[in-house]
Structure 1
Amino acid sequence: MSSPEPIKFLIVDDLETNRIALEALLRRDGLELHMASSGAEALELLLRHDFALLLLDVQMPEMDGFELAEILRGTERTSAIPIIFLTAVATDEHRRFRGYETGAVDYLLKPVDPLMLRTKANVFYELGRQRQDLARQRDELRRSADLLSVALERLQAHRDNSPLAVVEFDAEQRIAIWSKGAERMFGFPARDMIGRPLAETGWISNADAAAIAGMATELAASRSPRVVHHAAAQRADGTRAECEWCLSVLLDRNGQTASLNAQILDITERRHAEDTQRLLIGELNHRVKNTLATVQAIATQTLRHAADGAEFASTFSSRIQALSRAHSLLSSCGWHGASVSDLIDDQLRLGAFDPERMSAFGPDVMLPPQLALHLAMIVHELGTNATKYGAFSCESGRVDISWRVEDGRLAFDWLESGAPAPKAFSRRGFGTTLVEQGARAEGGDARLSIGPSGISWHIRLPLPRDAAPATLQPQPKTEEPPQAEPPARAGRRLAGCRFVVIEDEPLVALELASVLEDAGAQIVGHAGTCAQALEIIESVPLDGAFLDGNLRGEPVGEVAEALARRKVPFLFVSGYDRANLPSAFGSVAVLQKPFLHHDLLDAAAQLFPRARGVA
């Protein structure tokens, strides 16, 4: 703690000897004495310093003590300074009364009694010190009040801007606080909720209200910091919100519950996503088992009617290939792409946007499947962010969406307005990364702008050359690169050819290697990852390679580039169609999985020069 400011006294006397004597008499630690030889000099000092006591000589030339005291009483700054008059002139009651009338607290005759003067001065010294202490305490309380006010305002701002609903209940389970987040989440204004008992609001069920009251009692008894509870709540529009409640209690001095705080997260979308995930997993499980059952039936029936093992292998492979082609045909008919307006309408049907507070305008442009998927994810993420943090998070906000075609690119603009001014991001979250990466994945870009009225996104995506008005037509089949007529299959051998099999599924890799080795080829390496493949390509002489379209989730573009750089011929062996393979290698042949053995050998003979014409 810093040393206190000194207490200041002012001695006004036209005789220097008197001033020196008074200074010697009153000097003490913490006291600062100032001297003035006239009224004018005293006034100048009084403008610069705050004095706790004024010792004033009555008889002075030009301006006597009474005149100076009257001036001081007429000025707000100096009107409260206590004055002790000192005089060597015999006085009567009239002069004494005049002294007190001008504001004197005492009137002493010279020569003064040193003990009496020192005692009186010490009283004013202590009063001055007490005033200092009170002023310091006042300033500290004011600073503390300002800090508390700022903290409360910051807490209120965080609470109001939080995506969580913050609700507080008193000891009788009446609602004491209903945050802006609660208003946004449930639609009930604070004025309709504050002061009402929880069980009487109809906001949650009576059973959940009773459960929450019981949890408050348990929290107080166990002194646990918090408990998480799941309870559904009713929104103002009648819809149901699945919620996760994080409950904590504040205890009074007696250890009893003073208030119960609930921070509520709307998990309706999460529950829907979990339900959808379970449904998709169940549907996937169903479809996979159906496919396996079909394959099992094909195998059983083929074996039952086959004359020998060779006939079974040939017939079974042909039937599996036919099943695969049927599956691909069904996928191509359903996977026809979508227009931009279809994507927006789909989000509206899902309830992602409020149709009354948005507009969407642009031409009907048909997007290819992969681009449509990426743009759908981008639009969904933008809508989700606008609902949580942007224009759709307040009643006055709106979103205007527009798109157009410029120089072979789709120019997609998302503009938010009417929302509170967004804060700079302290930091980049997931939503932003998904939008940017989704655009980059298609060779485009996404630019975010933050303005006083909201955020805006400007997204540019390359369009295929044949982008046309949206009409739902079956997609044309992918044209394979022209191939020469295959040589005769009977007795063909690939003797002396050195191949690498790059495949992450061990059984498929084993099948590829077995077929090729049976035809006389030499398998010099197996690779199940991109790193393994690159190592083999750089270290082993190769005549050719068989490359899967994806290795444990990794794209194979780098591997294809390495093969091309080493001038190693290769072909893709993949379940993907050409649209999902590296676009820079559109002329490379694709052998679709599942494959027939003779198709694999034919592709090898067509691709690798050393194998051509080998019989």
Structure 2
Amino acid sequence: MPGNDVRFLLVDDIRENLVALEALLRRDGLEIHTAQSAAQALELMLVNDYALAFLDVHMPETDGYELAELMRGAERTRRLPIIFVTAADMDETRRFRGYEAGAVDFIFKPIDPVILKSKSEVFFQLGCQARDLARQRDEMRAMALHRDQAMARLKAHADNSPLATVELDCDLNLRVWSQGAERIFGHKTRDMLGRPVAGTRWLSEETIHLLRGWIADDEGQDSAPRYTTEAIAFHAGGHEIACELYASSLCEPEGQHRSLTLQVLDISERRQAEAMRSLLIGELNHRIKNTLANVQAIARQTLRQSTGLEDFDRSFSGRLQALSRAHSILSDATWSSAPLDDLIADQIKAGTLDGDRLRQSGPKVQISPENMLRLALTLHELGTNAQKYGALSRSGGEVHLSWRCEGEGLVLQWQERGGPHVTPPVRTGFGHTLIGASAGGQDGSVDVDWQPEGVIWTIRLTQGVTPVSGDAPVQKALTSVTVTEESLVGRRILMIEDEPLVALDLTFELEDVGAEVVAVARTLRDALREAADQMVDLALLDGNLGGEKVDAVAEILSRRGIPFCFVSGYGPEHLPAGFRTVPIVQKPVDPARLLSVLHQISVTPVAETL
């Protein structure tokens, strides 16, 4: 390549001499530059590197000796070899002056080609060697730069990686302790390097024994052996850290596998998450079985006390709905303590209690999940009994619900006024038994006083009650939600529900009041088709279909102007975001609530419900 050729510089004021000298020196790999004056030569030497300069001794203005002295005065050309070319006889004075000026040799005119080539060959070879060395130097610099950049990247990765990087020699002395290791284990690098791992109290003896075994088992194969295990390490503060170790046994230059590189991942949070998941699964399993057991007990006892199927259906459904609504309140509170006010407000919303005739007073308190479920059943039974036989069965009757904190517990009193004359019941029904069995909870108590002017229930909870500080006692009357039920005879209804039994049950309920279920869609694809094609008056839309969102179905129904409600176990936060005002009928479904909602949306313009 021309750019890598060795360069010679020829300086002579006579053009013909330059042509002749260039012709004698020409060869592959040699680039020859010529100059006819000292100034021109100096200019070329400022921009080019030369392996040899031939200078004519006798030149006008600045001769060869003077040019050589100028070259020796400049750092760039100080070491450039010079051969003087002269036609004059060489005496000792001139020879001394030439060598003093920096010449390495002389060539006399007329030039002998053999002598010229033999003398120039030495400097050509030296120039080739210098060129090769320069290339190697540049390559080495580039390799060193690449190495430094790679090492910098590796260090940055190691320092910022969630993994700790640790290197041990064959005697398990620490060679490398990364910043990741500092972050995870709290030991400073300066305190760890050079120490035997056994003396750091970082790993257990069992794990150290395992590391020794990895090195001992290495048979020197070409690829670096890899190992992995889980272990317990110790933080500088003394607490345990669950880790995963990934190890590679590395070969040293002398050919022996003498080092072990570890990458250590802190899995403490993962272990905690796994333990929490196991706990939650167990707790969920426990709660589901407890709930099913409660439902079973309620069903059996309600059936035992019911006078007929209609009475059983009304009583059992009401109690099941009370449990379901309590579960919804607890879900909103992530199954931690929930406000007692929310439970009372939910009973009013469901119509169990009449907000216009309820007088409630007491401090703001949070109650535990167990107490929430028990009180939900209790208030449902109390409200139902009051509507059937007590104060709420007559106009002007009222219920006074008050509570106060007592130690770590709560005393809640239900007092009826303005109802019919009260006499103690001859036979105790399941509602009375249910209140007595569940209201007080563990170590609690339930007392009833059959006053002629109104029954008084006193319920004591001994635990699971937390006062909300800074809140004054509340005294308020809430307005109940009343819904008018009218006939749905002849209404064409689209049901979108993925649970076959639920769809079947709801279909029977709707057909019993004269409505017609024209189609049932159980998959998202079917729901999209039926919502777009069916001519219907109303629609029931499940919260999701086989785990798929129903937003697109809701949009089609809304666009077509078909009133609909959600039928779901989800709360509003998990339903389509653009339809927050659409009514929700919670599962398990209360048929009366469903029919009321369908009547409501059938008489309300779609624009008002969406």
1:284 to partner: Cα distance = 0.5
Q: Distance in 1 between matches of 2:597 and 2:231?
A: 61
1:521 and 2:515 correspond: yes
Q: Deviations over 1:351-388 (max 9, x none)?
A: xxxxxxxxxxxxxxxxxxxxxxxxxxxxxxxxxxxxxx
Please tell me the residue identity of whatever aligns with 1:272. Answer: Q
CA contact (8 A) 2:220 2:257 kept: no
Counterpart of 1:86 in structure 2 is: 85
CA contact (8 A) 1:226 1:248 kept: yes
Q: Distance in 2 between matches of 1:470 and 1:48?
A: 87
Counterpart of 2:296 in structure 1 is: 296
Q: Distance in 2 between matches of 1:512 and 1:536?
A: 18
Counterpart of 1:535 in structure 2 is: 529
Please tell me the residue identity of whatever aligns with 1:98. Answer: R
Once the two structures are superposed, the pairs formed by residues 102-117 of structure 1 within 5 Å of their partners are: 102-117=101-116
Q: Distance in 1 between matches of 2:22 and 2:184?
A: 74
Counterpart of 1:55 in structure 2 is: 54
1:205 to partner: Cα distance = 0.9
Please tell me the residue identity of whatever aligns with 1:521. Answer: A
Seen in structure 2, the aligned counterparts of structure 1 residues 552 and 473 have a Cα distance that, compared at 3 Å, is farther
1:56 to partner: Cα distance = 3.0
Q: Deviations over 1:233-289 (max 9, x none)?
A: 222222322222222232246653243222222221121111111111110000101
1:200 to partner: Cα distance = 1.8
Counterpart of 1:236 in structure 2 is: 236
Seen in structure 2, the aligned counterparts of structure 1 residues 41 and 553 have a Cα distance that, compared at 3 Å, is closer
Q: Deviations over 1:70-120 (max 9, x none)?
A: 332222222212222333333333433332232222234443433222211
Q: Distance in 1 between matches of 2:579 and 2:473?
A: 27
Q: Distance in 1 between matches of 2:557 and 2:18?
A: 105
Q: Distance in 2 between matches of 1:481 and 1:532?
A: 35
Counterpart of 2:188 in structure 1 is: 189
Which of 492, 507, 525 matches 2:501?
Answer: 507
Seen in structure 2, the aligned counterparts of structure 1 residues 567 and 24 have a Cα distance that, compared at 3 Å, is closer
Seen in structure 2, the aligned counterparts of structure 1 residues 87 and 497 have a Cα distance that, compared at 3 Å, is closer
Query: What secondary structure sits across from 2:4 in the alignment?
Result: coil
Query: What secondary structure sits across from 1:133 in the alignment?
Result: helix
Please tell me the residue identity of whatever aligns with 1:204. Answer: L
Q: Deviations over 1:124-146 (max 9, x none)?
A: 11111111111111122112212
Larger Rg computed on CA atoms:
2
TM-score by length of 2: 0.67
Q: Distance in 2 between matches of 1:197 and 1:606?
A: 79
Please tell me the residue identity of whatever aligns with 1:547. Answer: L
Q: Distance in 2 between matches of 1:317 and 1:499?
A: 23
Q: Distance in 2 between matches of 1:255 and 1:475?
A: 87
Please tell me the residue identity of whatever aligns with 1:483. Answer: V
Q: Distance in 1 between matches of 2:475 and 2:508?
A: 36
Seen in structure 2, the aligned counterparts of structure 1 residues 269 and 309 have a Cα distance that, compared at 3 Å, is same
Query: What secondary structure sits across from 1:533 in the alignment?
Result: helix
CA contact (8 A) 1:167 1:176 kept: yes
Q: Which ranges in structure 1 are unaligned for 5 or more consecutive residues?
A: 339-468, 488-493, 610-615
Seen in structure 2, the aligned counterparts of structure 1 residues 89 and 214 have a Cα distance that, compared at 3 Å, is same
Q: Distance in 1 between matches of 2:97 and 2:583?
A: 119
Please tell me the residue identity of whatever aligns with 1:246. Answer: Y
Please tell me the residue identity of whatever aligns with 1:502. Answer: I
1:41 to partner: Cα distance = 4.4
Counterpart of 2:285 in structure 1 is: 285
Seen in structure 2, the aligned counterparts of structure 1 residues 471 and 244 have a Cα distance that, compared at 3 Å, is farther
1:51 to partner: Cα distance = 2.6
1:202 to partner: Cα distance = 0.6
Counterpart of 1:263 in structure 2 is: 263
Please tell me the residue identity of whatever aligns with 2:266. Answer: D
Seen in structure 2, the aligned counterparts of structure 1 residues 154 and 476 have a Cα distance that, compared at 3 Å, is farther
Once the two structures are superposed, the pairs formed by residues 354-393 of structure 1 within 5 Å of their partners are: none
Seen in structure 2, the aligned counterparts of structure 1 residues 112 and 317 have a Cα distance that, compared at 3 Å, is closer
1:203 to partner: Cα distance = 0.9
Q: Distance in 1 between matches of 2:475 and 2:229?
A: 50
Once the two structures are superposed, the pairs formed by residues 3-42 of structure 1 within 5 Å of their partners are: 3=2, 5-42=4-41
1:290 to partner: Cα distance = 1.0
Seen in structure 2, the aligned counterparts of structure 1 residues 29 and 606 have a Cα distance that, compared at 3 Å, is closer
1:332 to partner: Cα distance = 7.4
Q: Distance in 2 between matches of 1:318 and 1:536?
A: 33
Please tell me the residue identity of whatever aligns with 2:496. Answer: I
Once the two structures are superposed, the pairs formed by residues 210-249 of structure 1 within 5 Å of their partners are: 210-218=209-217, 223=223, 226-249=226-249
Seen in structure 2, the aligned counterparts of structure 1 residues 560 and 337 have a Cα distance that, compared at 3 Å, is farther
CA contact (8 A) 1:481 1:587 kept: no
Q: Distance in 2 between matches of 1:329 and 1:476?
A: 21
Equivalent residues, number: 474
Seen in structure 2, the aligned counterparts of structure 1 residues 563 and 481 have a Cα distance that, compared at 3 Å, is farther
Q: Distance in 2 between matches of 1:58 and 1:258?
A: 67
Query: What secondary structure sits across from 1:260 in the alignment?
Result: strand
Seen in structure 2, the aligned counterparts of structure 1 residues 71 and 496 have a Cα distance that, compared at 3 Å, is closer
Q: Distance in 1 between matches of 2:105 and 2:477?
A: 114
RMSD: 3.9
Please tell me the residue identity of whatever aligns with 1:148. Answer: R
Seen in structure 2, the aligned counterparts of structure 1 residues 75 and 314 have a Cα distance that, compared at 3 Å, is closer
Seen in structure 2, the aligned counterparts of structure 1 residues 479 and 575 have a Cα distance that, compared at 3 Å, is farther
CA contact (8 A) 2:330 2:337 kept: no
Seen in structure 2, the aligned counterparts of structure 1 residues 471 and 246 have a Cα distance that, compared at 3 Å, is farther
Seen in structure 2, the aligned counterparts of structure 1 residues 531 and 93 have a Cα distance that, compared at 3 Å, is same
Seen in structure 2, the aligned counterparts of structure 1 residues 471 and 130 have a Cα distance that, compared at 3 Å, is farther
CA contact (8 A) 2:170 2:215 kept: no
1:484 to partner: Cα distance = 2.4
Judge which range, 294-303 or 258-267, deviates more: 294-303
Query: What secondary structure sits across from 1:541 in the alignment?
Result: coil
Q: Distance in 2 between matches of 1:565 and 1:63?
A: 100
Q: Distance in 1 between matches of 2:481 and 2:578?
A: 14
Seen in structure 2, the aligned counterparts of structure 1 residues 287 and 114 have a Cα distance that, compared at 3 Å, is same
TM-score by length of 1: 0.67
Q: Distance in 2 between matches of 1:553 and 1:71?
A: 90
CA contact (8 A) 1:545 1:569 kept: yes
Counterpart of 1:130 in structure 2 is: 129
1:549 to partner: Cα distance = 4.0
1:327 to partner: Cα distance = 4.5
CA contact (8 A) 2:12 2:37 kept: yes
Once the two structures are superposed, the pairs formed by residues 330-349 of structure 1 within 5 Å of their partners are: none
Identity of aligned residues (%): 51
Q: Deviations over 1:278-336 (max 9, x none)?
A: 11111000010111122223334445566766665555444434444554566678879
Please tell me the residue identity of whatever aligns with 2:188. Answer: P
Query: What secondary structure sits across from 1:90 in the alignment?
Result: coil
Please tell me the residue identity of whatever aligns with 1:183. Answer: E
Q: Deviations over 1:439-467 (max 9, x none)?
A: xxxxxxxxxxxxxxxxxxxxxxxxxxxxx
Counterpart of 1:147 in structure 2 is: 146
Seen in structure 2, the aligned counterparts of structure 1 residues 43 and 586 have a Cα distance that, compared at 3 Å, is closer
Seen in structure 2, the aligned counterparts of structure 1 residues 277 and 48 have a Cα distance that, compared at 3 Å, is closer
Counterpart of 1:496 in structure 2 is: 490
Once the two structures are superposed, the pairs formed by residues 374-453 of structure 1 within 5 Å of their partners are: none
Please tell me the residue identity of whatever aligns with 1:504. Answer: D
Please tell me the residue identity of whatever aligns with 1:593. Answer: K
CA contact (8 A) 2:224 2:251 kept: no
Please tell me the residue identity of whatever aligns with 1:128. Answer: G
